[in-house]
Amino acid sequence: MAFRFDLLKLLLLTSILQIVNGGSSSCQHFGVERGDKLYNFSLTSPNSLSPHGALSEDGFYKVEVNDTLLWFQICDGMIFNHDPPRCFDCQECGGQLHCGTTCSALFAHYVGGYQVCKTIGRASSTEISLIDEKNPDTGIIVKMSHNDGQVNCSLSVSVFCDYNKLREPKSFEKLGTCDYATMLRHPSGCAKIISTHAGGLGWFGTLLIIILCLFGLYLLTGIVYRFFFLKVRGIQVIPNLGFWMTLPHRAKSFLQYTFARNRRPSGGHRSSYSPVDF
C-alpha cells in the first residue's frame, strides 16, 4: 500500500510539472517541410554557445525600456535566483512572495509611483512559427500567451538564426492592447536541414515490386487451394511444380540459343577463302 501511495504521488507530481512546463514538446522538436528539405528546430537542445539551448542560463531574460520592464523565459517557467520582480498585482504569476515563478512572461510598468505587474504569457500556451515562411532558415517566432478572463495578452519572441554569436534582447515593442514583441539572435534559431529528396525505385523498380507481390499472391493462393481442397501434401503442394522445376533448364537453353545466333556469321559475309575463277 505504501509503494502504491508513493507511486500515486510520483504520478501526480509528474502531471503537475507537465502542466506548469507544458508546451515544451514543440520547443524540443519543431519541423517544417519546404520542397525536398526538412527544417528541424530545437530550442532546448544544447549548442556551441549555450548548454541550455535558447533558454536563459539565468532562468529569465530581462528587458528594460524607460519605465517599463519585461521578464520572460523561452519554453519554460522563469526561475529567479537573483533580482526577482518586485511589483504589485502578481497573483497570476506566483503571488507577491514568489512573483514571476509560475508564468513565462511578465510585464511591469509604473502606476502612481509603484510597479504593477501583468502576466502576458505561459509556457503551456507556447506556439512556434516561422519568421519567414519562404525562408525557414531565417529563424522562428516563439509566442506565449495568457488570458485573464478580460483581455488576451501575448509575447512574441523572434529567435533569429546566428551560428556565431548570441545576442540577448535589448528592447521590446507593443503591438496591440496587450501584445508585445522582442527579438534575440541565437544558434537555436538555426535549423538542421535534412534533404528528403531520394532517387526512389523509379517506374522499373515499382513494376518489379508489383510483379513480385503478384507472384507471391499466386503461390500463396495455389498452395492454400491444393493443401486444403485437393489434400495435396509435401512439395507437390506448390502449384505448377513441374514448370518451375524445368524453368532453369528452359532459361539456360534460351540463353545458349540467343548467344549462338548472335555469333553466327551473316549470309552476306564472304569468306576470304572463297574459290575464285580465273
Give pLDDT tens digits for 192-211: 988 766 555 677 888 889 99
Q: Is the pLDDT of residue 15 over 60?
A: no
Q: Quick one: three-class SS letters along the chain?
A: CHHHHHHHHHHHHHHHHHHHCCCHHHHHCEEEEECCEEEEECCCCCCCCCCCCCCCCCCCEEEEECCEEEEECCCCCCCCCCCCCCCECCHHHCCCCCCCCCCCEEEEEEECCEEEEEEEEEEEEEEEEECCCCCHHHEEEEEEEEECCCCEEEEEEEEEECCCCCECCCCEEECCCCEEEEEEEEHHHCCEEEECCCCCCHHHHHHHHHHHHHHHHHHHHHHHHHHHCCCCCHHHHCCCHHHHHHHHHHHHHHHHHHHHHHHCCCCCCCCCCCCCCC
pLDDT for the residue 24: 52
pLDDT digit string, tens, across residues 161-188: 999 989 999 999 999 899 999 999 999 9
pLDDT for the residue 99: 94
Query: pTM (2 decimals)?
Result: 0.63
pLDDT for the residue 198: 56
Q: Which residue has the higher pLDDT, 128 or 267?
A: 128
Q: Are 58 and 83 in contact (CB under 8 A)?
A: no
The pLDDT mean for the chain works out to: 84
Nearest to 122 by CA among 52, 17, 13, 23: 23
> What average pLDDT does the segment 27-48 reach?
88
pLDDT for the residue 206: 85
pLDDT band at 48 (very low <50, low <70, confident <90, very high): confident
pLDDT digit string, tens, across residues 74-127: 999 999 988 899 888 899 999 988 999 999 999 999 888 888 999 999 999 999
pLDDT band at 267 (very low <50, low <70, confident <90, very high): low
Q: Is the pLDDT of residue 156 over 60?
A: yes
Q: Is the pLDDT of residue 251 over 60?
A: yes
pLDDT band at 278 (very low <50, low <70, confident <90, very high): very low
Q: Which residue has the higher pLDDT, 269 or 127?
A: 127
| Cα within 13 Å of Cα(92), Cβ side | 18
pLDDT band at 68 (very low <50, low <70, confident <90, very high): very high
pLDDT for the residue 20: 42
Q: Is the pLDDT of residue 23 over 60?
A: no
pLDDT digit string, tens, across residues 130-152: 999 999 999 999 999 999 888 99
- Distance between CA atoms of 98 and 89, rounded to whole angstroms? 12
pLDDT for the residue 35: 82
